[in-house]
Amino acid sequence: MRRVVDENIGMLLLFLAAMTGLYACTGSSAKSPVEAASHFNAQWAMDARWEQGTAEVAKYDAQRVVYGKARDFEYVFILVKETFNEKYKVKTDDYDRKDLFDVMKVNKFCRIPTDNYPYHYLTSIFYKREQPSTVYKLTNTSQEWCGNTSKYFLEEGRKYKFGYNSYWDGQGIGEMMIDGNIMFEDQLSHALRALDFQEGLQFKQAVAESQVNSKATKPKIYQANFAVSKDAAFSLDTKYDLSQVDEVWKVEVQLDDDKTNTYWFGSNYPNILLKQESWDGRRLQLKETYMDAYWNS
């Protein structure tokens, strides 16, 4: 009898251990890579380039349609490694904490002039260094004469918490949960740099529409098709020296039947975004890139 009881207890302990492991895999601390994560190089952000205490600054000649007219402006993209703490989910000031982890921060800033007043957008995107395909945190703020709006998306297990504060009626202040098996359109300019580029590569991935706006509605999710190819005829209309690039990879992202974004990347590490053309008239062409500790200026 004692042997049977001991065996039953042992089986119960094994069952509890298995259930604990299952919960750990599905809880808020679990990793939640996107479906297409296998097409990305998880080591892309581990290069020594990001350990030198400087940020990559890339400046683009840009264009966006506002009030029915194409507006020209400069878009600045910043990429830098930071150490976060889990409690506050921001860059840490205390490096003796036990809850630290490294992220790559992408900041995108622009000022878009219009006939009456300018639009300002700052988008911050963070991903864990070992998960270049998966957004850990995304924030966007917009400021113009009509008001200001702030939004955030924060990874929580298999979903994202979406919080917002806008000036639009019917939106206002609130939060909701959305599906976590997504990429964000706004991350693609940097996440696609970590692709395992291959001629003819194709895959599908759910993509949330761009958040660079003043609205705070639930994001539209596209079931997007990705297609990778080389572009031997690539050219730029800027002064950027293309001799720094051996080859150019083109990535077409078809969001739906009449919405396709196209991105061009250099084949040389760090695979800088050279050009972007989006279905809604957004355009980017690289004109300058350099490493800088801009916070010391």
Q: Residue 2: what pLDDT? A: 45
In a domain, 28, yes or no: no
Could you give the CA distance from residue 192 to residue 107 in angstroms, rounded to a whole number? Answer: 16
Q: What's the pLDDT score for residue 28?
A: 34
Stated length of the chain:
297
pLDDT (0 to 100) of residue 27: 33
Residue 11 lies in a domain: no
The answer to whether residue 275 sits within a structural domain is yes
Looking at residue 31, its pLDDT comes to 54
Q: Is residue 106 part of a domain?
A: yes
| pLDDT score of 21 | 39
b/e per residue 197-209 (b: at least 16 CB within 10 A): beeeeeeebbbbb
- Res 231: pLDDT: 98
Overall domain count for the chain: 1
Q: Give the C-alpha separation, 48 to 133, whole Å.
A: 20
- Token pair 């991935």 is found at 205
pLDDT in the model for residue 157:
85
Domain that holds residue 74: 40-296
The answer to whether residues 176 and 162 touch, using CB atoms and an 8 Å cutoff, is: yes
In-domain check, residue 14: no
What does the alpha-carbon distance between residue 64 and residue 46 come to, in Å, rounded to a whole number?
33
List per-residue pLDDT tens for the chain, 297 residues long: 444 445 454 444 444 444 443 333 333 334 557 999 999 999 999 999 999 999 999 999 999 999 999 999 999 999 999 999 999 999 999 999 999 999 999 999 999 999 999 999 999 999 999 999 999 999 999 999 999 999 999 999 889 999 999 999 999 999 999 988 999 999 999 999 999 999 999 999 999 999 999 999 999 999 999 999 999 999 999 999 999 999 999 999 999 999 999 999 999 999 999 999 999 999 999 999 999 999 997
Q: 98 lies in a domain? A: yes
Q: Does 118 sit behind a cis peptide bond, omega within 30 degrees of 0 on the bond before it?
A: no
| Backbone torsion region of residue 281, taken as left when φ is above 0, otherwise alpha when ψ lies between -120 and 50, otherwise beta | left
- Specify the residue for token string 């917002």: 164
Burial of residue 8, with CB atoms counted within 10 A of its CB: 0-12 exposed, 13-18 middle, 19 or more buried? exposed
Distance between CA 67 and CA 251 in Å, rounded?
Answer: 29
Largest pairwise CA distance in the chain: 88
208 to 157, 200, 212: CA distances (angstroms): 17, 24, 12
- The pLDDT value given to residue 15: 42
Give yes or no for a contact between 285 and 60, defined as CB atoms under 8 angstroms apart: yes
Distance from C-alpha of 79 to C-alpha of 112, rounded to nearest angstrom = 21
Answer yes or no: are the C-beta atoms of 63 and 72 closer than 8 Å: yes
Whether 264 is in a domain gets the answer yes
How far from each other are the two terminal CA atoms of the chain, in whole angstroms?
77
Q: Are 255 and 242 in contact (CB under 8 A)?
A: no
Look up residue 142 and give its two tokens.
């917009």
The predicted structure's pLDDT at residue 98: 96
Please give the backbone phi and psi of residue 241, each rounded to the nearest 5 degrees, phi first. Answer: -80, 100
